[in-house]
Chain A
Amino acid sequence: MLELVSVRRHFGPLKVIDDLDLSVAKGDVLGILGPNGAGKTTLFNVILGVHPVSAGHVRFEGRDITRKRPWSRCQMGIGRTYQVPKPFSHMSVFENVLVAAVSGGQGSIRASRDWAVEVVELTGLAHRMERPAGELSLLDLKRLELAKAVACRPKLLLLDEIAGGLTDMECDELLEIIRGVHRQGATIVWIEHVIHALRRAATRLAVLYGGKIISSGTPDAVLADPRVREVYLGVEA
């Protein structure tokens, strides 16, 4: 479904993504781990086209989308949440989701209204439906991020530290929503530091370090990898 071939993303002399190859099969839930500054969010920015690649190719469903703009990629079926939420602060929660349903999901306003309400309810924001997004708490902002991404009807959902700062109960709730999206056929790539959440959802893990994938495979195998334990978990091999 998604393929990154020899992708590089440099900011001046800083090589944030360095000759990275990654493929995600349809139906996968790929968890991405890595220490801060490993290039995880930049990887998402490259996949969605927020940052153009310095070299290499990005393919989605067999099509080369390297030169496509973020909105084109979204309309093709790539939805994304941000680690630092990007709400439309002066619009209501409903409108935030409606924008995504209309623009990303490519429906008319009339046809997308019910879908937007459904997504708002699904993500537990029904009681905040008409509140300006700028007034939401961090937890609700994270829910809103997920709601906007889901409203785009993604085939590939990119989740950027969506469970960070949540309680175990909130995390469980979120996990259930994500599993629901996955059950409906969406492929998921999930950057997360909350390993227990990732372990429960991911079919595969990959660890990013210095802009490269240093380990990938089943969650158990990756978490047992001595290199991963050293660079990410801080346990000496």
Chain B
Amino acid sequence: MPKAPFNAWLVPAGRLLLLLGLCFLIAGPWVCSIPQLQLLTQFLSLLVIAIMWNLLAGYADIVSVGQHAFVGIGAYAFFGFAVFAGFSPYLALLAGGATALVFAVPVMLIIFRLRAAYLAVGSWVVAETLMLGAGKLTAFGGGSGVSMPVSVVRSLGVQPALRYSHIYWLALAVAAVALATTWLLMRSRIGLGLTAMRDNEEGAGSVGVNLIRSRILCFLWTAPFLGLAGGIITLQKLRVAPPASFSITDWTVYVIFIVVIGGIGSFEGPIIGTVVFFLIRQYLAEIGVWHFIILGMLSIGVIMVEPRGLWGILRRVVPGDLIPVSHRPPARPLAGSDSAPSGTHLKEPHSTPAG
């Protein structure tokens, strides 16, 4: 029986760390103060956005720099459904996600005509156009935005502690659903094709991976989650305003940093990147703009050492994925496969696979 590698313990240790992190997040409302809970809510929102950008850029080769558009659409739609249509905040949140999905269709039709750098610029232009459009909505306060009425705020809880814990639970639920469903997507045949696309697009197309359908699915997959994150962010800020709700810095530039630092094209990367980003922001924010310089230098340094980010560096010693999306061969070898001579046991070409 082959011996396990000396570093095999790192995988269960890493998974234990993730589990402890999850337990901490679940215990959050009981063990954290309101400012800490707000920080965790921001963490979860940014994590969702990072997971989605990673899916787009890391797997489907859609390097969008305009995903803040869907965060903004989700924010405005949430506000509209909650304030003007009288939906409960929970229902308005879902409606915000659905609205982002609806908007994703025409946006996709525009930007999918472009590729690579042109697509990046195109997505940014579309996002800025949508932000300018939001600034023309007088019911939403035009360019300066509008605050959420007290009645809507109070519907989430009269006491601030209760209100913030409600918002936190919503953020945790959205993050959990985003992570779990995206993991399931990556484990499916679509995810298998996306992983192949990540490694070699032409090769993937040649073995039957439908590149166009995969890209469309990814783009439409991310939009509602970005919209939901936009709704959560609005609940936290209690107002919508074009520059804040459609912030390219907060919802796209930082997210690119996060994914690049953590490890693009991996499931662990966005999680690691978000943790690192928040640690830097929390502990180095008092040194002013220097923390941005450190963030930039860190991302450049990481890319130079390992293009697959911190997770790529860790993966040199960690012998497996912490959140496995890969597929392993069946444990039991096929009967007779060891002894069968080459070329003698092929099935009919292009027939339906057995089983």
Contact = CB atoms under 8 A, between A and B. Distances in A.
Interface residue tally on B, bucketed by range: 35 or more
B196 A173 contact: no
Contacts of A87: 199-200, 203
Contacts of A50: 202, 205-206
Nearest to A94: B329
Interface in A85-128: 86-92, 94-96, 98-118, 120-122, 124, 126
Q: What 9 A-B pairs come out closest when comparing CB atoms?
A: A180-B343, A104-B208, A86-B203, A103-B208, A107-B353, A88-B199, A100-B207, A74-B208, A153-B350
Interface string A52-87: 000000000000000001111011010110100011
A44 to B, nearest CB: 10
Given A79-B207, A112-B353, A121-B337, 10 more contacts: A69-B210, A71-B210, A77-B349, A89-B199, A106-B208, A117-B333, A118-B346, A121-B340, A122-B342, A122-B343
Interface residue tally on A, bucketed by range: 35 or more
Contacts of B303: none
Contacts of B346: 118, 122, 150, 180-181, 183-184
A177 interface: yes
Interface of B: 188-189, 192-193, 195-196, 198-200, 202-212, 265, 326-330, 333-334, 337-338, 340-355
Contacts of B199: 87-91
Interface of A is mostly: helix
A48 interface: yes
Contact of B206 (A80, A124, A155, A183): A80
B353 A91 contact: no
A71 B205 contact: yes
B200 A103 contact: no
Contacts of B338: 121
A177 to B, nearest CB: 5
Contacts of B327: 94-95, 98, 109, 113
B353 A101 contact: yes
B211 A107 contact: no
A79 B208 CA distance: 9
A71 B337 contact: no
A153 B337 contact: no
Given A86-B200, A99-B193, A111 B349 contact: no
B192 A98 contact: yes
A5 interface: no
A174 to B, nearest CB: 9
Contacts of A186: 349
A89 B265 CA distance: 13
A130 interface: yes
